Amino acid sequence: MKTPIFTGAATAIVTPFKGYEIDYDKMAELIEMQYAGGISAIVVCGTTGENATQPVAEHEQLVDFCVKHNAGRMKVIAGVGSNDTMTSIRLAESAKKSGADGILMVTPYYNKTTQRGLVQHFSTVADKVDIPMILYNVPSRTGIGLTAETYKILSKHPNINGIKEASGDFSLFARTRALCGDDLFIWSGNDDNTVPMMSMGALGVISVASNILPQTVTDLCKLCLDGDFKAATALYCKYADLFAKLFIEVNPIPVKTAMNLLGMKVGNMRLPLYDMAPENLEKLKESMKNVGLKIIE
């Protein structure tokens, strides 16, 4: 019987930069902040961590650093997604060697493949590397999504632990739950989907908002896990606009901007990601102020 890698709130953690270099001192501070906020797991080198612009050696070094600094306090899940299966295998092997608790693997982008190809892509990595895998479905970014029937096939693999479902498709989520049951654990991949998905059996969220609100997202998930969806809904509604504004431009532009506005000094994004448009920046600031976050001008 499978055991979920984590329950509750996981943070898709940003990668802080100084120019083109990773700011490892700041990364350590961010990990401490997440731990203090009750977060169950951190996802390193995911979309929010700008993995698409990280060379393989840098990627491996960052995962290794996070595992060592975390020292077992939270689960560490390493992003290993690629449109090259062999690259994903290398990153998965490196993550396991570093001591990561699991891997997150997005559907391949650009070359995309078919549903049959997706089964082979994920299964090949799961066969080669004995580490729990979370599938990541975000077709708005990759141009290809997993179907419930494909989830059903992949759920039978002992190393495939669950899915980060970020399609926003509740019919897909419901059908997947019906087909796979506890053979495939599900986490929301969108902050604004957390409460409804957990009401239908999701175990938590892999969150962007928790980069700035770790305790809030932790509390939200705990209320859902405790079955208090009335209180969870009230808490969600307080932050609903901010959750939306954190995606007013492509992630992680808004969340990194918000962190810098709060004085967290996480630095720049790597091109092609770029500074927010002035009109969107003002909307983000207003939303942050409305929930009591103190902006440092």
pLDDT digits (tens, 9 = 90+) for 237-284: 999 999 999 999 999 999 999 999 999 999 999 999 999 999 999 999
Q: Which of 3.20.20.70, 3.40.50.720, 3.40.50.20, 3.40.50.11540 would CATH assign to domain 8-237?
A: 3.20.20.70
Task: Report percent pLDDT > 70 for the chain.
Answer: 100
Alpha-carbon distance 28 to 92, whole Å? 22
> How high does pLDDT run on average in the chain?
97
Per-residue pLDDT at 212 exceeds 90: yes
Question: Beta strand pairing status for 17-18 and 21-22?
Answer: antiparallel
How far is C-alpha 53 from the geometric centre of its chain's CA atoms? 17
SS3 43: strand
Confidence (pLDDT) at 1: 80
Question: Residue 77 belongs to what H/E stretch?
Answer: strand 75-79
pLDDT at residue 297 above 80? no
Looking up tokens 């669950």 gives 162
Break the chain into its structural domains and give their ranges.
Answer: 8-237
What CA–CA distance (Å, rounded) separates 44 from 50? 9
User: For residue range 86-145, what is the model confidence (pLDDT) as tens digits?
Assistant: 999 999 999 999 999 999 999 999 999 999 999 999 999 999 999 999 999 999 999 999
Counting residues of the chain whose pLDDT is more than 90, the rounded percentage is 99
For residue 128, give every residue at least 6 positions away whose Cβ sits within 8 Å of its Cβ, in sequence order, or none: 89, 92, 93
- What is the amino acid identity at position 260? N
Report residue 11's pLDDT band, with 50, 70 and 90 as the boundaries: very high
285: amino acid identity, one letter: K
CA distance 292 to 288: 7
Average pLDDT for 174-189: 96
- Position 178 scores a pLDDT of 96
Q: Is the pLDDT of residue 200 over 90?
A: yes
CB 162 within 8 A of CB 135: yes
Mean pLDDT within 80-89: 96
239 is catalytic: no
Q: Are 130 and 110 in contact (CB under 8 A)?
A: no
Across 200-227, average pLDDT: 98
Is 164 labeled as catalytic in the residue annotation? yes
- Whether the pLDDT of residue 31 is over 90: the answer is yes
Q: Give the pLDDT confidence score for residue 183 in this predicted structure.
A: 95
**In sequence order, what are the residues at sequence separation of 6 or more whose Cβ sits closer than 8 angstroms to the Cβ of residue 287?**
241, 242, 244, 245
Q: Cis before residue 252, ω within 30 degrees of 0? A: yes
Task: Tell me which of 136, 151, 236, 239 is the catalytic residue.
Answer: 136
Among 26, 75, 164, 256, the one annotated catalytic: 164
